[in-house]
């Protein structure tokens, strides 16, 4: 069989492949054929800087020799072993490494394969825990989640998610979740300022916990940064406050570090910034350096022990995924952690974080920019029609997409969250590359409002951006 032509590939991509979060009637193919470091190369030979880490997952760059080699070496042993009642040395070593690195007290690892499944696992573990712990409280089967939260697209994850535009339709399928406002220091209610935002939002959470804690199994949070909500950076001390409240009211804390874990915030895990150990911690995306689907839900010993017993007692965790803990994924995850050590990745971040901050300070002055926010190498730039009133651009104007389309013409691939431009490059990005990304964003913002009605597409091969409430799925 001859190789397909470029035109055939595009035609098949348009008509056979059903892309996630993409209006296929308008889809314009972007077909990436290969990559080098932080650069993606399409079938036409166009080169793009990977400004959002291939949907927030690439860490050390593409085709990193050590990561490539780890996959090849594992292939010479075995590609897949079930983890239902069996194991393999690579996955075992990864569990050991994760437990050594994770916030103290997280001592057991349940492997699955994606961010959404890591969260499903945490939700079901919390539920089953309350039925089987020493002092069972089976009526604890509600969850608390934040407005605009995003935890993935399976139904459990959607139940604790809060992105109206995408989740509203599925409401009849979802279980009960109590909502608290997203701790967004930019869009605070009247009478609340940046200085008291933390206390205000903790107060809102406490009200819910105080009223309903006997029914609440867990609070689910994206620690420090609510990513898909528009890279909302929580007020300092908020996570610590949530941990204290959940302990006070006897409720588990699930930290979803799928987006923010693996160094993005400047520390390996976001929870480290506030010395928090959650009861359950979810990892995926960057866990394999952005190479392969693998996820992990880490649990405390107290939770683990609630599941121990004889076979006849039926206390096992009744949940599993065929590819959970896949050895190829585990091999590249182990290599990802080794590269963190070899290249001193975390120690190399401060100059990059500072360079990004410098660019953001300049971009913040543009008249279309309402807010810039940053945590480590994660940045969100919120575009507004009116800085004084914070009035958003209508979603139909597709302003975020237009800015990103403009940046793409300069060889920078980005994906907005509605009217929020996201910069979230691989941690391996160089200062030069970071400059190119930020300058392309700046020029895109300057240019975009001058071209109203330009038909931007969802066609950068990722999920479409957004939305009425200023947020969208990642
Ligand atoms: C915080 C968070 N949790 C969960 C997920 C879902 O991950 P996945 O797409 O791998 O299922 C995402 C995806 O963006 C995320 O940002």
Pocket test for ligand 1, best of 284, 297, 417 (most atoms within 8 A of CB): 284
- Pocket of ligand 1 contains residue 257 by CB under 6 Å: no
- Pocket of ligand 1 contains residue 459 by CB under 6 Å: no
Q: Tell me whether strands 232-233 and 225-226 are parallel, antiparallel or unpaired.
A: antiparallel
CA 473 – ligand 1 centroid, Å: 9
- Pocket of ligand 1 contains residue 119 by CB under 6 Å: yes
What span, in angstroms and rounded, lies between the C-alpha atoms of 327 and 94? 9
CA 366 – ligand 1 centroid, Å: 31
What span, in angstroms and rounded, lies between the C-alpha atoms of 369 and 384? 6
Classify 469 as helix, strand or coil: coil
CA 387 – ligand 1 centroid, Å: 31
Q: Where are the alpha helices (DSSP H) in 213-348?
A: 238-248, 301-305, 327-342
Residues of the chain where predicted confidence (pLDDT) is lower than 70: 449-474
Q: Give the bridge partners for 379, in sequence order.
A: 374, 423
Q: In the 8-state DSSP scheme, what is residue 287?
A: G
What span, in angstroms and rounded, lies between the C-alpha atoms of 69 and 72? 5
Q: Tell me whether strands 39-42 and 32-36 are parallel, antiparallel or unpaired.
A: antiparallel
Could you write out the DSSP letters of every residue in 235-252?
PTTHHHHHHHHHHHTT-E
Q: How many CB atoms lie under 10 A from the CB of residue 237?
A: 13
Contact at 8 Å (CB) between 16 and 27? no
What span, in angstroms and rounded, lies between the C-alpha atoms of 243 and 282? 16
Closest protein CA for atom 10 of ligand 1: 115
What span, in angstroms and rounded, lies between the C-alpha atoms of 290 and 337? 12
How confident is the model at residue 28, as a pLDDT?
A: 95
Q: Give the bridge partners for 62, in sequence order.
A: 37
Copy the structure tokens of residue 127.
């539920």
Copy the structure tokens of residue 462.
């990722």
CA 251 – ligand 1 centroid, Å: 23
What span, in angstroms and rounded, lies between the C-alpha atoms of 376 and 354? 9
Residues 6+ apart with CB under 8 A from 148: 162, 163, 182, 226, 228, 229, 230, 232, 469, 471
- Pocket of ligand 1 contains residue 222 by CB under 6 Å: yes
- Pocket of ligand 1 contains residue 241 by CB under 6 Å: no
What span, in angstroms and rounded, lies between the C-alpha atoms of 192 and 87? 52
- Pocket of ligand 1 contains residue 57 by CB under 6 Å: no
Residue from 402, 404, 288 nearest 338 by CA? 288
- Pocket of ligand 1 contains residue 151 by CB under 6 Å: yes
- Pocket of ligand 1 contains residue 114 by CB under 6 Å: yes
- Pocket of ligand 1 contains residue 264 by CB under 6 Å: no
Contact at 8 Å (CB) between 290 and 57? yes
Q: Which helix (H) or strand (E) holds 217?
A: strand 216-221
How confident is the model at residue 474, as a pLDDT?
A: 63
- Pocket of ligand 1 contains residue 474 by CB under 6 Å: yes
Q: In the 8-state DSSP scheme, what is residue 6?
A: H
What span, in angstroms and rounded, lies between the C-alpha atoms of 223 and 281? 10
Contact at 8 Å (CB) between 157 and 121? no
Backbone angles phi, psi at 412, to 5 degrees: -125, 120
Copy the structure tokens of residue 308.
């121990």
How confident is the model at residue 395, as a pLDDT?
A: 82
Closest protein CA for atom 16 of ligand 1: 259
Classify 223 as helix, strand or coil: coil
Closest protein CA for atom 14 of ligand 1: 474
Pocket test for ligand 1, best of 54, 112, 115 (most atoms within 8 A of CB): 115
């Amino acid at each position: 069989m001859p190789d397909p032509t470029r035109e055939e590939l595009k035609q098949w991509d348009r008509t056979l492949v059903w892309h996630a979060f993409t209006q296929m009637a308008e889809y314009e193919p972007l077909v990436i054929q290969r990559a080098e470091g932080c650069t993606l190369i399409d079938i036409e030979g166009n080169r793009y800087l990977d400004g959002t880490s291939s949907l927030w997952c690439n860490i050390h760059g593409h085709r990193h020799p050590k990561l490539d080699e780890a996959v090849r070496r594992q292939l010479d042993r075995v590609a897949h072993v079930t983890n239902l009642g069996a194991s393999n040395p690579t996955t075992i070593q990864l569990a050991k490494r994760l437990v050594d690195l994770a916030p103290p007290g997280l001592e057991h690892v349940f492997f699955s394969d994606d961010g959404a499944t890591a969260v499903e696992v945490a939700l079901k573990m919390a539920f089953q825990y309350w039925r089987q712990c020493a002092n069972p409280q089976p009526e604890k089967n509600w969850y608390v989640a934040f407005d605009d939260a995003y935890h993935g697209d399976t139904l459990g994850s959607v139940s604790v998610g809060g992105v109206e535009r995408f989740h509203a339709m599925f409401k009849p399928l979802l279980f009960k979740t109590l909502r608290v406002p997203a701790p967004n220091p930019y869009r605070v209610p009247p009478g609340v300022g940046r200085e008291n935002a933390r206390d205000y939002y903790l107060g809102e959470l406490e009200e819910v916990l105080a009223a309903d804690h006997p029914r609440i199994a867990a609070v689910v949070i994206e620690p420090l940064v609510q990513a898909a909500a528009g890279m909302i950076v929580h007020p300092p001390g908020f996570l610590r406050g949530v941990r204290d409240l959940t302990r006070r009211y006897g409720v588990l804390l699930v930290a979803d570090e799928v987006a923010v874990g693996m160094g993005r915030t400047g520390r390996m895990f976001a929870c480290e910034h506030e010395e928090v150990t959650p009861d359950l911690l979810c990892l995926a995306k960057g866990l394999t350096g952005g190479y392969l689907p693998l996820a992990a839900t880490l649990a405390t010993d107290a939770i683990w022990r609630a599941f121990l017993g004889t076979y006849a007692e039926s206390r096992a965790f009744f949940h599993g995924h065929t590819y959970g803990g896949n050895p190829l994924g585990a091999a590249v995850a182990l290599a990802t952690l080794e590269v963190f050590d070899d290249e001193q990745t975390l120690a190399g971040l401060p100059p990059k974080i500072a360079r990004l901050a410098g660019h953001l300070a300049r971009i913040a002055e543009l008249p279309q920019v309402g807010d810039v926010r940053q945590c480590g190498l994660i940045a969100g730039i919120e575009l507004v029609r009116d800085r004084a009133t914070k009035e958003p651009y209508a979603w139909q104007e597709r302003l975020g997409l237009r800015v990103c389309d403009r940046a793409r013409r300069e060889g920078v691939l980005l994906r907005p969250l509605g009217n929020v431009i996201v910069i979230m490059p691989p941690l391996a990005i160089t200062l030069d590359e970071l400059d190119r990304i930020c300058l392309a964003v700046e020029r895109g913002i300057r240019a975009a409002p001058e071209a109203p009605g330009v038909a931007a597409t969802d066609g950068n091969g990722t999920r479409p951006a957004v939305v009425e409430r200023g947020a969208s799925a990642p």
